[in-house]
Structure 1
């Protein structure tokens, strides 16, 4: 697989073929890719909500400024963040480390206490911004994996988060939507698929010291 070739193939898909659906195998790859995304401290305060049902996606189109990709794509990925980060989240994370790696409590205790203090020293808006930053890391990772797997995608910031949250009842899960990523397969009539990418030269974009 030529990764650069696939990244050049990728584009923000404007029109999906609504008749083409992702296989369960492809969906599983995206689930695993999301779960393997790097996050600060490894705390994973973000979640991925996968919306397949058209009845749920139909009302979301209006809340995404009528971007039809939300409905036409095979699936809509909604990258969410927790409403807040609690001490129990940190404790659960270190319990997971203990179980997974058989790390002793003596080693883990100071790190756990330090991370709890770090989170407590932030205001709620600061913790939310911290989580939102992790969501963007996940978006980039998912888009790259999609390109490698030959899956089309379209990253979206342009939507009304509160309205999307209400439709999907994310508040009942303690979540807030951050980003949308419709995924599927491009429609052959989408003219944007054949546009040549416009980018700065490598020498302009990259500085070597």
Structure 2
């Protein structure tokens, strides 16, 4: 399938086939795609937690508005951001730039000082909102990659983050869950499987200025 056909094929799966699992190669592709996601300033203030444990998935169902896809799915992807975002994160990024690109300090320092100053002026609430926006970028990227790889998915905002954090022990890792996406294979009896996609005409959603 080409890209548009793949995006036509995808939908938010309502029932997964519990007897099918993704391969290690497919999971590796999703991990690499996540890591390559574009983020503001390239800082990557996001972490992907991959759950492949039926007992844990079962516990998460009640904290997911009882959406059974969380249990049925091959894996559950949980997108997280730092509970507390500090200057250390920015420092780590610039150390990485220097290591990978061997960029001299005299070139890096002006941009580094700009970012450090910018983040110092923001509250943790503001940084949380900014980081959460980065997680949405990653979710969109993962959804597209899943479609291209013929992996079914179901993006979810309908869950209780605090309970996920508790079950997955995310607090001890300075993480907060913000988005969830079960992945796997659609069930043959999923009532949504063969329904036509409902979308506006492209002319209604795209404005072309020339």
TM tier, smaller: over 0.9
Q: How does 1:129-208 map to 2 (within 5 A)?
A: 129-208=129-208
* Offset, 1:191: 1.7
Tell me, in whole angstroms, the C-alpha distance in 2 between the residues paired with 1:31 and 1:170: 19
Q: CA RMSD in A?
A: 0.6
Q: Counterpart of 1:128?
A: 128
Q: Does 1:19 align with 2:14?
A: no
Length-normalised TM-score, structure 2? 0.98
Separation in structure 2 between the aligned mates of residue 116 and residue 55 of structure 1, nearest angstrom:
42
The number of aligned residues is: 209
SS in 1 for 2:192: helix
Give every structure 1 segment of 4 or more consecutive aligned residues whose post-TM-superposition deviation is greater than 4 Å.
none
Of 171-180 and 82-91, deviating more is 82-91
Structure 1 distance, partners of 2:19, 2:165, is 27
CA distance in 2, matches of 1:54, 1:119: 40
> What is the CA-CA distance between 1:84 and the residue it aligns to?
2.1
How far apart, CA to CA, are the structure 2 residues paired with 1:98 and 1:151?
36
Deviation at 1:57, TM superposition (A): 1.0
Q: Which runs of 5+ in 2 are unaligned?
A: none
Q: Which has the higher helix share?
A: 1
1:85–1:119: 8 Å Cα contact kept in structure 2?
A: no
Structure 1 stretches lacking a partner, 5+ long: none
Q: TM-score, normalised by structure 1?
A: 0.99
* 1:55, distance to aligned residue in structure 2 (A): 1.4
Q: Give the match for residue 79 of structure 1.
A: 79
